[in-house]
Amino acid sequence: MKTRHTLVAAIAAFALLGSACTTGGAVEQNLDNPGTDLRSEETYDPRAFEGESINILLIEHPFVDTLRPLIPGFEQETGITVNLEVLNEQQGFDKLQADLSAGSGNFDVFMTSPLQNWQYSAAGWVEPLDGYVGNDGITMPGYDFDDFAPGILNSGRWTLEPLTGLGEGPLWGLPINFESYNLTYRPSMFEAAGVEVPTTYEEVLVATELLAGSLSGNNYPVVTRFDKYWDLTYLTFGSMAGAYGVTLLDEDGEVGIASAAAVEATELFIDIIKAGSPDGSSAFTWYESLQGMTSGRFAMALNEADLFAPTYENVSESVIADDVGYAMIPEGPEGRSAGAWIWQMSMSSSSENKGAAWTFLQWLTSPDVLMETHLAGNMNPVRLSAWENEELSALVETWGAEPGQYRKVLAETAKIAEISVPPHPELTRALNRWAEAIQQSYFDGNVKENLESAAADIESILR
């Protein structure tokens, strides 16, 4: 099927690695190649670590719902007991950092991302995985490491050099899904208001104002995350900023968040929120964005995750399953820009059960198990073979206001999505500070001053 092959090609070319990397000093850390000698002279046996127990920390996410039903099968196959703990994003990352920094090893395996792993790996808290992957004594036949989309897989590599080296060096995590960002909309609400789906951010504001005049009751034009948290400036608003030519570090390596273009983008973003979102929207996380859209209260979700589509399309979880469309992320003066997020699984370097932990990691990220999660709603797939699966392709083909709409938007987004921030152990602090300045501007209107103050602080953080 030509369209399926087109999407596979787009995902395979998913670069992910942006250009906002400048040379920095290396983090001093001696790396061996752990996992290489573990049962290296043995034949693979799924029950090699029978009787052991592992603790896994997961972040509350649609992926977790697709994984839970599969855990008993893993336990039966391997004889390994799995203890799951699931927390929301901020609580989960806080608890994980406390455990890793203390070297407690309470969690053997955990859900993470490149952004978090830049801090964890620089501190020596994460186990590099290359030695495990290449060891046939502990990695199942048919694991097919080369089946991972190269750009997505390599986003888990880093040399430990601040502000450079992304996509190179040791592998710190294995991907389980990826997301980028689109404009999700309600065709019925747009039609009732006589509004066209916007293609630029200026048009988003116009559409928001027109929809505000058409909607009534507890319905609103737009929802998007706007909490004082790094994902605002890394992903959703970060995508909009990129369309205005704004990145955390500019092409000269200077902090670029207080430029004239940054002020313009921030003011427009705030205008959209004030014109189209309810009181309290300044505290919205991605949880509220997803729940708000599925509740039917909003006409569009701006720059939100495309992997929310399985939930939008699920009649048991969403009231908009028969009334949802997908469009490309809006355009700015510098064209379209889309961030990229990759959920990964990693192993604690302090784990005392590394054989059992790896058995779980390679089982979870194997072609068959990942496919089971994708068919249950874990999007978007990170293995190229998954996009060739006829059942998955047929399912995705039905999503949107017309057949193939989601797939077409995803394929086009794959051409522009990238990690546009440089790797650095303190990057979350820098992004949090930027997000704080945007939210402060929402309340006091002093956009330029707030961004300039944040830029000065971020300069100190990153240098």
CB < 8 Å & 24+ apart, contacts of 388-392: 388/4, 388/8
Buried b (16+ CB within 10 A) or exposed e, 260-276: ebbbbbbebbbebbebb
Domain housing 311: 181-339+426-462
Contact 64, 378 (CB under 8 A): no
Distances (CA, A) of 228 to 3, 283, 286, 332, 418: 40, 7, 12, 23, 22
Whether pTM exceeds 0.75: yes
Q: How far apart are CA 106 and CA 100, in angstroms?
A: 8
Same domain, 175 and 186: no
pLDDT for the residue numbered 26: 36
CATH number of the structural domain spanning residue 319 = 3.40.190.10
Residues in contact with 81: Cβ distance below 8 Å, sequence separation at least 6, in sequence order = 52, 53, 54, 75
- Residue spans of beta strands (DSSP E) within 246-392: 298-305, 325-327, 338-339, 341-347
30 and 171 together in one domain: yes
Query: 336 and 204 in contact (C-beta within 8 Å)?
Result: no
Paired strand residues for 175? 344
Quick check: 180 pLDDT over 80? yes
Contact 151, 17 (CB under 8 A): yes
Beta strand 298-305 with 181-185: parallel, antiparallel or unpaired?
antiparallel
Q: How far is CA 166 from the centre of its chain?
A: 16
Q: What is the mean pLDDT of residues 129-153?
A: 96
- Cβ-based neighbour number of residue 83 at 10 Å: 12
Identify the domain boundary among 418, 438, 454: 418
Which of 1-5, 220-224, 301-305, 442-446 is the least confident region? 1-5
Using DSSP's 3-state secondary structure scheme, residue 168 falls into strand
Mean predicted lDDT score pLDDT of the chain? 93
Are 231 and 84 in a shared domain?
Answer: no
Report the pLDDT value the prediction gives residue 209, as an integer from 0 to 100: 98
Model confidence over 218-267: pLDDT tens digits? 999 999 999 999 999 999 999 999 999 999 998 888 999 999 999 999 99
Residues whose CB is less than 8 angstroms from the CB of residue 361 and which lie 6 or more positions away in sequence, other chains included: 109, 129, 132, 174, 345, 347
- Which residue, among 84, 39, 77, 70, has the nearest Cα to 370 in the 3D structure? 70
CA distances from 222 to 201, 239, 278, 427, 436 (A): 13, 17, 9, 29, 21
* Shared-domain flag, residues 166 and 188: no
Number of independent structural domains in the chain: 2
160 in Cβ contact with 128 (< 8 Å) = no
Among the listed residues 302, 223, 242, the one whose alpha carbon sits nearest the alpha carbon of residue 20: 242
The pair of three-digit structure tokens given for residue 289, joined into one six-digit string = 């964005």
pLDDT of residue 11: 63
- Let me know whether 375 and 324 are in one domain: no
The answer to whether residues 215 and 117 belong to one domain is no
Does residue 147 sit in the same domain as residue 6? Answer: yes
Same domain, 75 and 26: yes
Is there a single domain that holds both residue 310 and residue 349? Answer: no
DSSP 363-384: HHTSHHHHHHHHHTT--S--BG
Cβ atoms of 265 and 244 closer than 8 Å: yes
* pLDDT(275) > 60: yes
Q: Is 251 helix (H, G, I), strand (E, B) or coil?
A: coil
Dump pLDDT digits (tens) for 4-32: 555 665 566 565 555 444 433 333 444 57
What is the tens place of the pLDDT at every residue in 88-108? Answer: 999 999 999 999 999 999 999
**14 plus 163 within the same structural domain:** yes
- Do 231 and 99 fall within a single domain? no
pLDDT at 312: 98
Q: Are residues 156 and 25 in the same domain?
A: yes
Pick from 12-21, 66-75, 254-263, 335-344: least confident: 12-21
Quote the percentage of the chain above a pLDDT of 70: 93
- Quote the percentage of the chain above a pLDDT of 90: 89
Show the tokens assigned to 439.
């939210």
3-state secondary structure of 194: coil
